[in-house]
């Protein structure tokens, strides 16, 4: 059995397109000194009592069925970033039909979804770059029998390069309209004019359509209602829309920015957005959980189950109204945990 550090090295090598060199004469693989191993993130100002109380609340809300989601958001994401990065590597995954007219066309690290309507395709997010849009997203659409020339609208869920990275290419190549919120358009416009930060080398799409809170988009026989849910970025767009699974109707809640932001203010905004989102999705009867990273909605696991689905098997994305609400409550409580790690409260 490989040791954990060897598994991380193997994952890194495979993600880079190769494999670690074989050991010579049975010698162990070279490795860093133990002192150089990644350490858990420390929070010197943490309010330990508040962290403990928030973790206990989140775990109780999660129960056994949402325990992996609780662990990822409350523990692994803030404390064990190297492990998260090892799971969330850039890699190919099989394009998959999720519902009768909703398809997964992204990659392992970040999602893209295509909603097919009688008037064309609405694409949610566009991966990391033009290269990924051209060599992953477009071939994935084609493998599912979809024509990228039918993309009418692209929804950029938030102004991070791993979500808008391929939008400019699709906009220029296929004439697709690009939708974002006003505040995230401002962020992308600024990046275009003065590239800086982690997404400096990812050109944003040209400024196009703005979607305000509560507005809807109708294309053919599908209507998508949009809400601005600040937190992960100030202008995250989240959506509610209808789908069918083998003819049975369901309602998708597509929260556009799971995980808080990098500041106390953004975490507090995230909590408020999640509280409002729970009210909106409860009223709409949302029973389907879709997210824009496979790690956030068990996308890889769910897609594999769907690829081998037998008649009568449930659709794993249909979580039901109760579990959907509890999932969002866990996200909310984990944002409070993140504040408590910093010694802060709402």
The CATH number for 101's domain is 3.60.15.10
Q: In this predicted structure, what is the pLDDT of residue 31?
A: 82
Res. 195: pLDDT tops 70 = yes
Q: What is the mean pLDDT of the chain?
A: 93
Domains identified in the chain, total number: 1
Q: Calculate mean pLDDT across residues 161-180.
A: 98
> Comparing C-alpha atoms, which of 274, 285, 292 is closest to residue 155?
292
Res. 4: pLDDT tops 70 = no
Q: Is residue 147 part of a domain?
A: yes
Q: In this predicted structure, what is the pLDDT of residue 264?
A: 96
Res. 320: pLDDT tops 50 = yes
Q: Is residue 206 part of a domain?
A: yes
Show the domain range for 134: 93-341
Q: Is residue 75 part of a domain?
A: no
- pLDDT, tens only, 107-159: 999 999 999 999 999 999 999 999 999 999 999 999 999 999 999 999 999 99
Q: In this predicted structure, what is the pLDDT of residue 261?
A: 78
What is the SS3 string spanning the chain? Answer: CCCHHHHHHHHHHHHCCCCCCCCCCCCCCCCCCHHHCCCCCCCCCCCHHHHHHHHHHHHHHHCCCCHHHHHHHHHHHHHCHHHHHHHCCCCCCCCEEEECCEEECCCCCCCCEEEEECCEEEEECCCCCHHHHHHHHHHHHHHCCCCHHHEEEEECCCCCHHHHCCHHHHHHHHCCEEEECHHHHHHHHHHHHCCCHHHCCCCCCCCCEECCCCCEEEECCEEEEEEECCCCCCCCEEEEEEEEECCEEEEEEECCCCCCCCCHHHHHHHHHHHHHHHHHHHHHCCCEEECCCHHHHCHHHHHHHHHCCCCCCCCCCECCHHHHHHHHHHHHHHHHHHHHHCCCCC
pLDDT-based confidence at residue 262 (cuts at 50, 70, 90): confident
pLDDT-based confidence at residue 27 (cuts at 50, 70, 90): low
Q: In this predicted structure, what is the pLDDT of residue 30?
A: 77
Q: In this predicted structure, what is the pLDDT of residue 28?
A: 62
Contact 309, 19 (CB under 8 A): no
Q: Calculate mean pLDDT across residues 44-66.
A: 98
Q: Calculate mean pLDDT across residues 293-320.
A: 98
Q: Is residue 22 part of a domain?
A: no
Q: Is residue 156 part of a domain?
A: yes
pLDDT-based confidence at residue 6 (cuts at 50, 70, 90): very low
Q: Is residue 5 part of a domain?
A: no
- pLDDT, tens only, 155-169: 999 999 999 999 999
Q: Calculate mean pLDDT across residues 163-176.
A: 98
Q: In this predicted structure, what is the pLDDT of residue 8?
A: 42
- pLDDT, tens only, 92-104: 999 999 999 999 9
Q: Is residue 79 part of a domain?
A: no
Beta bridge partners of 103: 97, 114
Q: Is residue 103 part of a domain?
A: yes
């Amino acid at each position: 059995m490989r040791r954990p550090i060897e598994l991380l090295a193997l994952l890194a090598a495979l993600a880079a397109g190769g494999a670690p060199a074989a050991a010579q004469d049975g010698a162990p693989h070279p490795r860093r000194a133990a002192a150089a191993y990644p350490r858990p993130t420390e929070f010197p100002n943490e309010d330990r009592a508040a962290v403990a109380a928030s973790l206990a609340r989140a775990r109780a809300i999660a129960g056994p069925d949402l325990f992996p989601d609780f662990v990822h958001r409350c523990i692994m994401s803030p404390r064990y970033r190297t492990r998260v990065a090892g799971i969330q590597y850039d890699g190919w995954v099989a394009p998959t039909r999720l519902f009768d007219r909703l398809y997964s066309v992204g990659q392992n690290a970040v999602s893209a979804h295509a909603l097919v309507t009688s008037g064309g395709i609405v694409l949610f997010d566009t991966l990391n770059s033009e290269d990924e849009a051209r060599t992953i997203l477009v071939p994935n659409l084609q493998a599912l029998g979809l024509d990228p020339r039918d993309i009418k609208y692209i929804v950029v869920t938030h102004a991070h390069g791993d979500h808008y990275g391929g939008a400019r290419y699709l906009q220029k190549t296929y004439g697709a309209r690009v939708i974002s919120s006003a505040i995230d358009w401002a962020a992308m416009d600024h990046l275009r004019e003065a590239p800086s930060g982690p997404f400096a080398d990812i050109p944003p799409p040209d400024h196009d359509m703005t979607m305000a809170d509560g507005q809807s988009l109708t294309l053919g026989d599908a209507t998508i209602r949009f809400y601005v849910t600040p937190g992960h970025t100030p202008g995250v767009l989240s959506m509610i829309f209808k789908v069918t699974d083998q003819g049975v109707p369901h309602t998708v809640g597509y929260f556009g920015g799971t995980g808080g932001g990098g500041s106390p203010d953004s975490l507090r905004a995230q909590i408020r957005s999640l509280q409002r989102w729970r009210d909106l999705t409860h009223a709409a009867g949302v029973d389907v959980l879709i997210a824009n990273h496979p790690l956030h909605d068990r996308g890889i696991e769910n897609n594999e189950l769907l690829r081998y689905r037998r008649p009568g098997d449930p659709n794993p994305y249909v979580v039901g109204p109760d579990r959907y609400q509890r999932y969002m409550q866990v996200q909310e409580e984990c944002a409070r945990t993140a504040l408590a790690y910093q010694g802060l409260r709402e």
